Amino acid sequence: MNRTLVEKVRCMLSNAGLGRIFWAETIDYVCHLVNCLPSAAIGKKTPKEMWLGYPSRDYMHMKVFGCPAYYHVKIDKLEPREKKAIFIGFRRGVKGYKLYDQLERKIIISRDVTFDETSLLKPRDSEQVESSKPITTTDQKKEFDVTPFIPPAPHTPDEVYDGTVDEVADTDEVPDTDDQEVEEVESESQVQDSIARRRTRRQNVPKPAWLRDHIAFALSASEAEIPCHFKEAVESPEAHFWRDAMDEEMTSLKKNAT
């Protein structure tokens, strides 16, 4: 019930466009609605009817929460006869409607009130936010010095390693160059070679001990055969376990008389 009340309060505040400052008035009105509306849990009766002992289903006093309300005032002949407020419920022990005057920022209790319950059903115009300053975009172009790429010369490894290589990178064939070009890119090829040697290789990380236990248990569980009837159970190597389980089950059935 607590969650139901909170959900109703959230919806009513959102529909009325009110803030959290009115949560107390909203929860009071929600409780009033719940007490006056029939419920299937109590045989289509209202909680108020169950409490008082006689039918009480007068819904004429109920209004849309947060709707505009115009209450009658008697001030001066030339002053407006009505002032605008919003409906926020009832006050216990007092006949009249509980209103909130947004201009005077005070709560009014009045019996002579005209409600505009259809105003909250009208579609609200979406606010259009326009910027006073035009949005300008500037394209900033930066110039970079581009050095032509010279492919490295093929490098002959000094040592030959035996073993299996996990990954083999495809290398493009490099056309033959003059001796002068080889001398110019010699330093660059050394840098490329040092970078290639620093590449990390995949390492075979051993599996943790707890994972081996799980794998062994899964394999043993898959190999175990569950007997389909009594004869297979008593003739299996685990017959004593099955007999203990049968005795325990029969004892439980006799104890519970099932």
Residue 44 — very low, low, confident or very high, per pLDDT cuts 50/70/90?
A: confident
Q: According to the model, what pLDDT value does residue 158 have?
A: 52
Q: Which of 129-138, 212-221, 244-253: highest mean pLDDT?
A: 244-253
Q: According to the model, what pLDDT value does residue 231 have?
A: 83
Note whether 167 and 127 are within 8 A (CB): no
Nearest to 37 by CA among 48, 29, 24: 48
Nearest to 57 by CA among 39, 40, 45, 42: 45
Structure tokens at 212: 């081996």
The SS3 call for residue 71 is strand
Residue 132 — very low, low, confident or very high, per pLDDT cuts 50/70/90?
A: very low
The span from the CA of 186 to the CA of 180, in Å, is 10
Q: According to the model, what pLDDT value does residue 85 have?
A: 92
Note whether 67 and 119 are within 8 A (CB): yes
Structure tokens at 68: 């505009």
Higher pLDDT, 51 or 210: 51
Note whether 50 and 39 are within 8 A (CB): no
The span from the CA of 84 to the CA of 16, in Å, is 15
The span from the CA of 107 to the CA of 102, in Å, is 9
The answer, yes or no, to whether residue 168 has pLDDT greater than 80, is no
Mean pLDDT over the full length of the chain: 71
Note whether 27 and 89 are within 8 A (CB): no
pLDDT digits (tens, 9 = 90+) for 200-235: 566 676 666 656 665 665 655 555 577 788 888 888
Q: According to the model, what pLDDT value does residue 139 have?
A: 42
pLDDT digits (tens, 9 = 90+) for 10-21: 888 888 888 888
Q: What percent of the chain has pLDDT over 70?
A: 58
